[in-house]
């Protein structure tokens, strides 16, 4: 097994507190509303506590039927959230899991920056390619931007 680490950032005009609330604390309710073209439903076990499993079901026609995340920790006072993709989606038989460590920080313009560290745990001697990493980041950014667009269109949500 190998571990490949990759850092990336996503900027948003939404404040860290509001974006954290939307993506982490209320994501199970907001994802299907913000991205109905991609997300059919979200099932949350254990009310989002440490070790809880989150299953995201995708609409038909997408490359993946679902993904399962395991919540590894979150700190609502510091707007950080850690989880691992443990089943479904891009894992296949090439990756054991993908761990995400996210922190939402204030940007100078009043918005936020989501600083993410991703760790790809590969199976055997498999080496993940740069294109696979970029594709995965693109899907992750797509979720952030869908939530951002929804929050901008609905200023009363997650305040």
The model's pLDDT over 80-116, given as tens digits with 9 standing for 90+, comes to 999 999 999 889 889 999 999 999 999 999 999 999 9
* CA dihedral sign of residues 89, 91, 49, 152: negative
Half-sphere exposure of 86 (CA within 13 A, CB side): 13
Q: Is the pLDDT of residue 46 over 90?
A: no
Q: What three-state secondary structure class fits 144?
A: helix
**Residue 90 belongs to what H/E stretch?**
none
Give me the mean pLDDT over the 105-130 stretch: 94
| pLDDT at residue 40, rounded to an integer | 95
Distance CA 101, CA 21 (A): 16
Instruction: Provide, rounded to the nearest whole percent, the portion of the chain with pLDDT above 90.
Output: 75
Which overall architecture, per CATH, does domain 2-153 show? 2-Layer Sandwich (3.30)
| pLDDT at residue 44, rounded to an integer | 86
| pLDDT at residue 50, rounded to an integer | 84
Give me the mean pLDDT over the 48-57 stretch: 88
Give me the mean pLDDT over the 119-136 stretch: 91
CA of 38: how far to CAs of 31, 85, 157, in Å? 9, 18, 21
Q: Which of 143, 93, 82, 148 shows the shortest CA–CA distance to 118?
A: 82
User: What pTM value is reported for the model?
Assistant: 0.89
More confident residue, 138 or 157: 157
Question: Using an 8 Å Cβ cutoff, are 71 and 102 in contact?
Answer: no
Per-domain residue ranges of the chain:
2-153
């Amino acid at each position: 097994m190998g571990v490949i680490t990759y850092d990336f950032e996503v900027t948003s005009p939404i404040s860290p507190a509001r974006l954290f609330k939307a993506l982490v604390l209320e994501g199970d309710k907001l994802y299907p509303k913000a991205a109905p073209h991609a997300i059919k439903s979200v099932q949350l076990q254990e009310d989002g506590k440490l070790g809880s499993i989150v299953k995201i079901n995708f609409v038909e026609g997408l490359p993946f039927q679902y993904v399962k995340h395991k919540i590894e920790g979150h700190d609502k006072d510091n707007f950080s959230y850690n989880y691992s993709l443990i089943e479904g989606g891009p894992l296949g038989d090439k990756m054991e899991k993908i761990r995400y460590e996210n922190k939402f920080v204030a940007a100078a313009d009043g918005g936020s920056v989501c600083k993410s560290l991703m760790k790809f745990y590969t199976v055997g001697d498999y080496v993940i390619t740069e294109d696979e990493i970029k594709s995965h980041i693109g899907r992750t950014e797509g979720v952030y931007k869908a939530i951002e667009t929804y929050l901008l269109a609905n200023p009363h949500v997650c305040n």
